[in-house]
Amino acid sequence: MDSGIKFISWNVNGLRAVCGKGFADIFVNLDADFVCLQETKLQAGQIDLEFPGYTSYWNYADKKGYSGTVTYTRLHPLSVSYGIGVDEHDHEGRVVTLEMPDYYLVNVYVPNSQDGLRRLDYRMRWEDDFRAYLCGLASRKGVVVCGDMNVAHNEIDLKNPDTNHFNAGFSDQERGKMTQLLESGFVDSWRLLNPDGVKYSWWSYRMAARERNVGWRIDYFLVSGQLRDRIAGAEIHNRIFGSDHCPVELILK
């Protein structure tokens, strides 16, 4: 039986740090066709981390120890691109796109709006430009976009919605942009399969939040409409540790 194509996305919050917490074993045990990591916090040459059978594609931020993405793949892409073609956004290592025969895989680390929403105006420009980028890809073939999208879309997606309405990741503006993206033809794969499910992918390091499961679901696999019927599974691996985020998964038929 065809088990489908398995995708993993994980914000590792520092790849060198998570390597000291069993990352290599976790990677092997997940046994995915694609592993998309965000917040690697690396520059070129700072780590040599390859896995047999995988090729890796890295996008580094200009600023040291900041942001960064990498996609590991067992399948061979037709082409690979970095960034979204907008100079304002393309210095922080936030996007790696692999073109496969029948879809694009976009690995993204969406900018955080920061305390006091001080980067919200920039985030809004990012959202519009990134949505335009994704819609452009989707006009050609299917799109899978995954990563830390730095927004809990609905109240069910975080433990304490009432006290977070004006905080980064749950502001009306950020939630509205996610609504707009979904209305542009994308599907939240985990929510599609778990309409009433409560599971989180990020927990603050403060106040024993993970032990108490005071979390947020801000890591996603979105797929464009033409791939919707191929969604065969979606999971949030909240028992995997090593970062303040946990890995999330998509399986496509």
Residues assigned a catalytic role: 109, 148
Q: Alpha-carbon distance 70 to 98, whole Å?
A: 11
Backbone angles phi, psi at 91, to 5 degrees: -115, 5
What is the gyration radius of the CA atoms in the chain, in angstroms?
Answer: 17
- Complete DSSP assignment for 75-124: SPPSEEEES-S-GGGTTS--EEEEE-SSEEEEEEEPPP--GGGTTHHHHH
User: Which of 189, 193, 229 minimizes the C-alpha distance to 8?
Assistant: 189
User: Which of 84, 31, 39 minimizes the C-alpha distance to 58?
Assistant: 39
The residue behind tokens 């994308």 is: 186
